[in-house]
Structure 1
Amino acid sequence: YRCYNLLGIVLGDLKEFDKSLAYYNEALFYLEKTPNSTIEKASVSNNIGVNYRHLKLYDKAIHNFENVLKINNLHIRHPSLFAKAISNLATSKLYAQDTLNVENLFKKSIEIKKEENELASLSSSYFNYAEYKAYAKDTINAIEKLKKSENLARESSSNEQLLKTWQYLAILDKNNASDYFKKFTKLNDSLLSEERKQQNKFARIRFETDEFIAENIELESEKQVLSKQKQIWIGIATGFFLLGLSVYIIINQRAKNQKLRFDQQQQANNQEIFNLMLMQKQKVDEVKRLEQKRISEELHDGVLGKMLGARMILTGLNKRATDEAIQEKSKALGSLQEIENEIRAISHELSHSAYQKISNFTDSVETLLANNRNTKIKTIFHFNEDENWDSLAGEIKINVYRIIQETFQNAIKHSKCSFFEVTFYRDDEQFNVIMSDNGIGYNVIKGKKGIGIRNITSRIEKLNGSFHIDSTEGQGTTISLNIPI
């Protein structure tokens, strides 16, 4: 931005205003990409306005200066730029013959520049103020302002401003016109002489630069020839390298293909052996399952039935016996009941061990509910037949089955219900089970947590799941299981 702005200033001083504007626009382009550059943009806009004024495009110049003055708190953030913009706006309006409020603008600009001690800029403002006074036919004040401009130009060593001021004084102050003209001529000749020296110096620099450029062109030509030769050798070397690489890749790919075919054949053989072993294992597991199921049925239907009958007989005798006999029979009944519970536990473990191998989970649940011997209770089982429930992990199926069994037995014994309902459904990555009855219900808060609830809690914790009991006295009970899968 700074380089383009400086080029714009230099070309403006050389009166090449169009090129100067192009460089100022480049400066603005880079400032648009620069954060917190409001003041810099305002400075460039002020410079563009000055160029428009030199090109006599006063409307554009005024528009630029007014945009600069619209920046928030510019008079605080950058008083010097604010004063320049005011002075330039007043001058442009004067040149456009719009003198409304122009004098106030000049006065305000001069006041700020005095505070900022901007001598060269203050000299320029007094000069433009003198132009306004001359336009207003106030020659005396105009000469006064020009003399102030002359003194300030001397103090700030502004030769260009001195020339402009003497030239204008020679026009306005007729009595001293010859003196001003002499001063003008002397300073102008001195500056022209100095400019010629500088031009000669630059001419020597240009000549030496041209020689250096010619040498560089010759060296660049030689360099291009060497570069082409280098490129040819690099191309030849690259060709040989690519040829060798291609041969290596072809040979290596053939070796990989042979190894891949061998691995595939070996994998197929291993898969065949694995399938044979799996079939054998399935046959053994099926035999074990059938045997476990048979033992379970024998224990449940045979031994438990007999023991239950004996317990019932003893219960009947217990009502007619003496106190001592009743006590002894009660002990016997307790022992029988312990044996019964122990055999039932064994039976259930064997039954579930067999169940773990059963492929159809929903059929097992339906069988559990259908084996209800209490014909007064209607059982209902809801599930989506399109869902693959057998894909659930074995541990989930076993524990859910046991929880349903436990809940169902509790409903039969305690709830006095007329129907018992089980629902399966999946929700995203979660298996949900809802068990409900229309029994007498109970107070969940006050009710005791028996073995059944503790067992449900233990099994759900194993599955990293959760459960909820919703029950109200006289309105039945609902138990919901939520198990991640």
Structure 2
Amino acid sequence: MQFFLRKNSYSLLFYFFTFIINAQEENKKNNYKDLVKQEKIEIENLFPLLNNKDDLKAYSNAHKLVKKIKTKESITRLNLFFANYFNKKTILDSTFFYANKALKSTDFIANDSLRRILASSSYNLIGLYNNKKGLIEASKKSHLKGIEIVQNQKKGYPYYVNLHGLANIYLKQGDYTNALKYFKQCLEYKDVDDEISIGSNINIGIIYGEFKNYESSIVYLKKANLICKNNENINCQAITAINIGENYKDLGNHKEALKYYDEGLKLAKQNKLYQTEAFANEYIGSILYEQKRYANAKLYYINALTISLQHNFLSNQRDLFLKLKEIAIVEGDYTNAYELLNRYSKIKDSINILEKDKEINELDIKFKTLQKENEIRDLMLENNNKILILNNQEKTIENLNLQKAIESKKNENKLLKLNESSQKKANQIKLLKKEQQLKDSEILRQKETRKIIFIGFLIILIPIIALLIVYYQKQKAQILINNKQKEISEQKNKALLKDQELKLIKAQIEGQDKERLRIAQELHDSVGGNLAAIKLQLSNSNFGKESEIKNINHQINETYNQVRNLSHNMLPKKFNQSKFCDVLEEYLNKLAEVSQLTPSFVAYPRKKINNLNENIQVEVYTIVQELITNTIKHAKANKIELQLNLIENSLNIIFEDNGIGFNIKNNKEGIGFINIKNRINNLKGSLHIDSTMNRGSIFNIEIPII
């Protein structure tokens, strides 16, 4: 009996520990959910700043959040914010980069519904990027994909924002019927945000203008303009002004049309709305062309083309090359006309090549089929409702007739109930006696089954306990084996890291030795020879002779120039032969070949960073080398990410690794770390470090360019 109690206590302990582990796992899940909610609120707080003209503050706060966020959902949301920011700034390549990055990160989100919503929002931003670039079919494909993945969910913001983008594509393609249909569907969305409402009203106004229904067109455009003014949305006010101008142009009132075009152009210039500014210049040029004021029209077309080339608006470039060609023909400049026609053809061909995709047509047909199926389903529901109403009316009539029949039978039933109640009481007494007998027999049967179960439980429990003891011993032995293997693998990793360090140090020393040898040869052959000649002349010559003084002075100048050229040659040759970003990228790629590190490098805007002062480039290159050396020595990382962002007059460097991290407060600064700080201080920059144990490190460096 004591043996049984001891073994039973082991099993109770086993179940108790299992319960504790499950409780800890549940607690982790709850903590993760709370963290996701908190990070979601912080990211959502960025959008009001972005929409209220405080976009620089929003961008700065977003970069601070990059260092803090930990969950996959929040990383995706933050990438979507950056894509929205660059879309608003009309920086198209950055818009696509962050939208595509957000789309890829949705693959790692466990919640299927949330994954679909965030992926649909990513497709919308990719569609807007393609639309602004002039790739209409590619934009159509992105919006159709965005609609498809949330088609079977409750239709919310991601569905309607992609539907709005798709309607815009149909409008550009001249399919006004489908465009009008989907824009009106967007207005039916009860929780629709102002941007979709504004865009839908503007585009419905444009479509009615195409139908020559100018009265309805102006009603919708003024409605959109009122919402714009209430929200202080300058871009919207500029677009509505331009479209009202289009209506006056179609009516033949060029004076009023130019008035509204000028208003739109002024708003676009003041607020750096580049594509709107390009359209306003193009429309003003078209009126001047109709008035045969070709020189003035040409100026506006060139302004629009310059903006379109700067921001890669392909469809705008295509239209403007064609219009400038027509002016060249009128002016008799056929050489220029031929050149413009060639450029028009190249742009047109490049757009056609980018937009060849069978999947777009399949998605379009699938979307339209689903739309028709939904309409048929709605009609069937209406018919079913009507049939149900008719059936209900018939049933109410039948119920009234039945109620009258029931009331007539109630009196008869009362007499029958009295007889039945007396019989029921007699039967209940008999049943109670039988139930008592059955209960007694059931109690005896349960006692016997309990004895059998107890004995069976003892027979089963003893081998189970023995198996648990054996399993525990095996697990203990396996843990010891694993610990030994872990120690061996750690020693191997340390040996590999030391080997990589030695290779890098050896390469650096060899480079330094070669450079020292070259400098020594230069000093010995050129500067040393000149100084020896000057010394001989000074010791053997008479300073009274003017020719001797001139000769010595000439040799001193020559020596000075050689020293100056030598100091310039001491700068890294890489920067003289290649662009700065290319040198950095090449260094990272070579590093990947000789180590286990996987590097990632992003620079924006790349061209401006390549044109920075050479001293800054050298210092930045050295800082990056020091950071990578520290990562190899201490971080035990296998991935590093380097970002260079030139924002206004400040160069932002973000260096991140996925290593073991370190405690910032207790960290002892080595020589390499001190060198990094000194170089940053020399450039009057600032350094912010975010690192915790087992979560990697982020170095955020700001360097003023002025």
Could you state the TM-score of these two structures normalised by the residue count of structure 2? Answer: 0.27
User: What is the TM-score with the length of structure 1 in the denominator?
Assistant: 0.38
